[in-house]
Structure 1
Amino acid sequence: MRAGTAGKASMKAAERVSGEGEKRGRKASKETRRQQLIEATIDSLAKRGYSETTLADVADGAGLSRGIVNFHFESKENLLVATLQYMAEEYADHWGGALERVGPSAASRLWALVQADFDRRICTKRKLAAWCAFWGEAKSRPTYQALCGARDVKYQETVIQLCAELKAEGGYSYAPEPMAISLCALLEGLWLRLMMGDGTTREKALEAAIEFVVNIFPRHLTRQGPAAP
């Protein structure tokens, strides 16, 4: 009897483990499909633009049925909001991680921010084109502004703080906030140049950004990186 009871208990335990594994598998599959659809949306935005992107295009691009798209997002607007949220979070995590990996000096942190904007993982033609598609719609869609607004503010505040620290250390004559806005505008403008395909490459864009910061912060930065203390 004890052996039989032990056998039943073992079978129940195995069933529980199997059930939990199936649940994890279903969850992973759901997350994987959502990510496939988001990536396909980015591809479609880059290829067709905002207004021409349809749920059918996204489904075909992801290699999934149109019913799957409806199941996960219900509407084109929900899918686009999820895609923008994913891209905004990816970008924020990217530059935030770049800051975490460097030392505490303002020069190192500013250098890391500039480098991060032209990293191959974040600065691709398809992602830049998708960003441009969303930017074109942001003015008339408060939801899009809200998704990116707080992160944009945090980024700009970070740059302002770094400019203030560098001014205090180097005795520069600029005002920190206008200088930070100028730097942010330069980086955004270089992204637009890359998206327009006017011959500007990612390497050239990074070189231009470096040239700007080297001339603004000559006591802290060189073309090779932060100056030695």
Structure 2
Amino acid sequence: MSTDPSEPPRQRKERKQNADKRRRQVLDATYRSIVTNGLQRTTLATVAEEAGLSQGVAVFYFKSKNGLLSEALRDLYLIYEAHWQEAVEAAGSDPAAQLQALVRADFDPKICNPAILSVWFAFWGEQKFTPQYGEITREFDDNRQRAIQDICKKLLPDDPVHASDVADWVDTLTDGYWQNLHLFPASYNNESARRSTLRALQALIPELKTRLTPNT
């Protein structure tokens, strides 16, 4: 981007918009390449081909394959985080409604679908070998875990140990169903996974029996 102070504001704005558009094209193409080629065989060349851009564009914005993939994972988490945070905020102040909204958000097809699950699990499978992926994952997982724990503390203010257990159960249930949806798509679907998660929480947390509505 030009730093010329004489450049008109409108022109600077257009330059930024064009840069943001190109970055978005490259990131979206990265996800498509991972679905098609797998993470290891995704390269700057396969991404550029998916994006319909020159490889030089991908190099200009992301410098290297590792830089591109790390930014793609961060972008994936940013989209996911904004989605569940918006859902929790829209649920109001009732912690039971917030918990239900968070579970519902996790199984929204916009966030949880075969293509995106393939991308998630491709990255998670490489965390052991690529420390940057693990660092990004921990950062965003910690944010979500704190949010769930805060909700559970409000649900169970007199039993912090139980509240902590509930927070772990929420993560375990949703993560487990994401894995089942990824590995066994013929046997699981988003709605059944959502309902089963909420029914399990009702059974595990008697206080929520009448406050969760799995079938709506």
TM over 0.5: yes
The equivalent of 1:137 in structure 2 is: 126
Q: Give 1:141 deviation, angstroms.
A: 2.1
For residue 138 of structure 2, the aligned residue among 139, 149, 161 is 149
Checking the alignment, whether the CA contact within 8 Å between 2:29 and 2:48 is kept in structure 1 is: yes
Q: Give 1:178 deviation, angstroms.
A: 2.3
Secondary structure class of the residue paired with 1:222: coil
Unaligned 5+ segments in structure 1 are 1-15
Secondary structure class of the residue paired with 1:51: coil
Q: Give 1:174 deviation, angstroms.
A: 7.4
The equivalent of 1:159 in structure 2 is: 148
Sort the Cα spacing of 1:24 and 1:161 in 2 relative to 1 into closer, same or farther, 3 A: closer
Counting only pairs closer than 5 Å after superposition, residues 14-33 of structure 1 correspond to structure 2 as 19-33=8-22
Q: Give 1:201 deviation, angstroms.
A: 1.5
Instruction: Using structure 2 for the length normalisation, give the TM-score.
Output: 0.87
The alignment covers a number of residue pairs equal to 207
The amino acid across from 1:179 in the alignment is V
The amino acid across from 2:214 in the alignment is R
For residue 175 of structure 1, the aligned residue among 153, 159, 162 is 162
Secondary structure class of the residue paired with 2:40: coil
The equivalent of 1:223 in structure 2 is: 214
Secondary structure class of the residue paired with 2:12: helix
Counting only pairs closer than 5 Å after superposition, residues 50-65 of structure 1 correspond to structure 2 as 50-65=39-54
Structure 1 distance, partners of 2:183, 2:115, is 12
Unaligned 5+ segments in structure 2 are 1-5
The equivalent of 1:113 in structure 2 is: 102
The equivalent of 1:190 in structure 2 is: 177
Which shifted more, 101-110 or 152-161? 152-161
Checking the alignment, whether the CA contact within 8 Å between 2:195 and 2:215 is kept in structure 1 is: no
Q: Give 1:67 deviation, angstroms.
A: 1.2
What CA RMSD, in Å, does the superposition of the two structures yield over aligned residues? 2.1
Instruction: Using structure 1 for the length normalisation, give the TM-score.
Output: 0.82
Summarize deviations over 1:124-178 as a string: whole Å, max 9, x none: 2211111101101112222112212122112112222323332348x8x972222
Checking the alignment, whether the CA contact within 8 Å between 1:167 and 1:174 is kept in structure 2 is: no
Secondary structure class of the residue paired with 1:160: helix
Structure 2 distance, partners of 1:127, 1:222, is 27
For residue 98 of structure 1, the aligned residue among 74, 81, 87 is 87
Checking the alignment, whether the CA contact within 8 Å between 2:156 and 2:163 is kept in structure 1 is: yes
Summarize deviations over 1:173-213 as a string: whole Å, max 9, x none: 97222222122011011111111244112222222222222
Structure 1 distance, partners of 2:52, 2:184, is 29
Matched, 1:210 2:210: no
